[in-house]
Amino acid sequence: MPDAPLSNAYRIPLNQLDVITARLYAENGYPHDAWRRLRAEDPVHWCEPPQYRPFWAVTKAAHITEVSKNPGLFRSAGRFILFPEMEGGALSQTLEENPPLRMLVNMDPPEHRDYRKLVSAWFTPRAVQRLEARLEEITAELFDELAARGEVECDFVSEIAARQPLRMITELLGIPREQEDFVLRITNENFGIEDEEFQREGDTREDRLSFITEAFTFLNEITEDRRRNPRDDLSSVLANAKLDGQPVPQFELFSLYFLVMVAGHDTTRNGISSGLLAFLDHPDQLEKLRGDPSGLVATATDEIVRWTTPVNHFSRTATADVELDGKQIRKGDSVALFYASANRDEDVYDDPHAFRVDRNPNPHLGFGIGEHFCLGAHLARMDLRVFWRQFAQRVESLELAGPVELLAASFVGGPKHIPVRIRVRPR
């Protein structure tokens, strides 16, 4: 039985299900009922929604795994995220033909591996472990500041969820604290590109993407500085990186830097803010975590990533005609991998529609799988573990103080504002 009353997803023809329009994500959240129906009736489904070029929606874990592990047949370069066509300017098409960024997520082997190697040593379990004490302190300071304010009303997303992962990634990159708000703004503009609150005005691609130019100016300054004065930070590693003994071309270098800077905290922020919504909907699970924060926080973290799936989709392009689940995919077709759907796949999980902080095993695809498996997964898990353990230990009371607003985004989605009334215990 569905865990909610049957929605419209079951009352319309299959070919009219819309699992991509960003506005619908703001209005209704992730389309779990539609995915549930697709998993049961047509797991590799051809979609032709208004304003988007058609694509295959892949909704089951086994098929997402098959595609992700075969980057030769399903490339990431080209259409790696599904965006709508812009009136007069076809945003998605120009993004593919002339991408404003060439990052790991839209590169393919062997080039992809060479670029990934430039930074991967900073994100291994051992490297991340060394950051734990600092992360505990950053998180404790955040809760100290809240404790000092007594019972307080604030926006959980911008004042709490965003702050801890943002400070961790900016410290790792050596970006000064005064620039945190700049990084946050650029990140919001990047992931909120389809949301009116964060969107830049304008009809052309250049108008809409001008935040990238602004970010590159900033990255240029910090890169120049680290070439002159290298330090023990990730910016110095990036600034002085070499590929085959040659300096990394500037466009690819800044794209990689940009990716680490924005992906390095926005996704985790969504894990925290969507995680809060999960706990508000399942107070028994928060009570359970509170009963044994240290013992349960590791499984709770993975369950939060499974349940909330901050990165909803990435897309691939078929490089040849190929069959997937009996469907004939043609060369050049887009294949969208809906991780959030795979994470409720009835063939993978017992009781997939239940949120359980002690779920184990939990082989979720929240960090992707295969060639592009999330570079920052260890860091993200540690961020979330430290946050939720301290939250369980120190938050005395929390209730909603206004309506939750969701981001209009079907790529990296989640809440954009959660007004709360909160009281935190002193350390």
Return the SS3 of 273: helix
Choices 40-48, 236-244, 281-289, 363-371 (CB under 6 A): range interacting with ligand HEM: 363-371
Binding-site size, ligand HEM (CB under 6 A): 26
Decide: is 238 part of the binding site for ligand HEM (CB under 6 A).
Answer: no
* Minimum CB–partner distance for residue 399 and ligand HEM (Å): 25
* Minimum CB–partner distance for residue 221 and ligand HEM (Å): 21
Cβ-in-10-Å burial (0-12, 13-18, 19+) of 127 comes to middle
Pick from 74, 367, 388, 391: which binds ligand HEM (CB under 6 A)?
367
Decide: is 368 part of the binding site for ligand HEM (CB under 6 A).
Answer: yes
Long-range contacts of 135-143 (CB under 8 A, 24+ apart): 135/164, 135/168, 135/382, 135/383, 135/386, 136/386, 136/390, 138/164, 138/167, 138/168, 138/171, 139/164, 139/386, 139/387, 139/390, 140/390, 140/427, 143/390, 143/391, 143/394, 143/395, 143/424, 143/427
Decide: is 262 part of the binding site for ligand HEM (CB under 6 A).
Answer: no
Cis before residue 110, ω within 30 degrees of 0? Answer: yes
- The CA-atom distances, in angstroms, between 155 and each of 278, 416, 419 are 17, 9, 4
By beta-carbon proximity to ligand HEM, the closer residue of 76 and 334 is 76
Cis before residue 361, ω within 30 degrees of 0? Answer: yes
CA distance 228 to 184: 26
Which amino acid type is present at position 93? Q
Pick from 61, 335, 374, 386: which binds ligand HEM (CB under 6 A)?
374
Enumerate residues 6+ apart whose C-beta is below 8 A from 113.
none
* Minimum CB–partner distance for residue 266 and ligand HEM (Å): 8
Pick from 311, 336, 348, 418: which binds ligand HEM (CB under 6 A)?
311
For ligand HEM, which residue has the nearest CB?
376
CA angle 181/172/109 to nearest 5° reads 105
* Minimum CB–partner distance for residue 61 and ligand HEM (Å): 13
Residue with tokens 């004065």: 229
Pick from 376, 413, 414, 415: which binds ligand HEM (CB under 6 A)?
376
- The CA-atom distances, in angstroms, between 193 and each of 198, 207, 255, 424 are 7, 11, 17, 34
- 42-81 mask for ligand HEM (x: CB under 6 A)? --------------------------x-------x-----
- Which H or E run includes 420? strand 419-424
Determine the distance from the C-alpha atom of residue 384 to the mean position of all C-alpha atoms in its chain, rounded to a whole number.
13
CA distance 266 to 217: 21
* Minimum CB–partner distance for residue 203 and ligand HEM (Å): 30
* Minimum CB–partner distance for residue 423 and ligand HEM (Å): 27
Decide: is 310 part of the binding site for ligand HEM (CB under 6 A).
Answer: yes
* Minimum CB–partner distance for residue 411 and ligand HEM (Å): 10
By beta-carbon proximity to ligand HEM, the closer residue of 109 and 176 is 109
Pick from 77, 305, 335, 336: which binds ligand HEM (CB under 6 A)?
305
Question: 66: which 2 tokens?
Answer: 């098959």
By beta-carbon proximity to ligand HEM, the closer residue of 193 and 262 is 262
- 271-300 mask for ligand HEM (x: CB under 6 A)? x-----------------------------
Decide: is 411 part of the binding site for ligand HEM (CB under 6 A).
Answer: no
Choices 47-55, 132-140, 367-375, 416-424 (CB under 6 A): range interacting with ligand HEM: 367-375
CA distance 105 to 314: 9
By beta-carbon proximity to ligand HEM, the closer residue of 254 and 367 is 367
Decide: is 95 part of the binding site for ligand HEM (CB under 6 A).
Answer: no
- 114-153 mask for ligand HEM (x: CB under 6 A)? --x-------------------------------------
Contact 79, 96 (CB under 8 A): yes
Q: Which of 99, 14, 88 is nearest to 51 (CA)?
A: 88
Question: 305: which 2 tokens?
Answer: 């990533």
Give residues in contact with ligand HEM (CB under 6 A): 68, 76, 104-105, 116, 259-260, 263-264, 267-268, 271, 305, 310-311, 314, 339, 366-368, 372, 374-376, 379-380
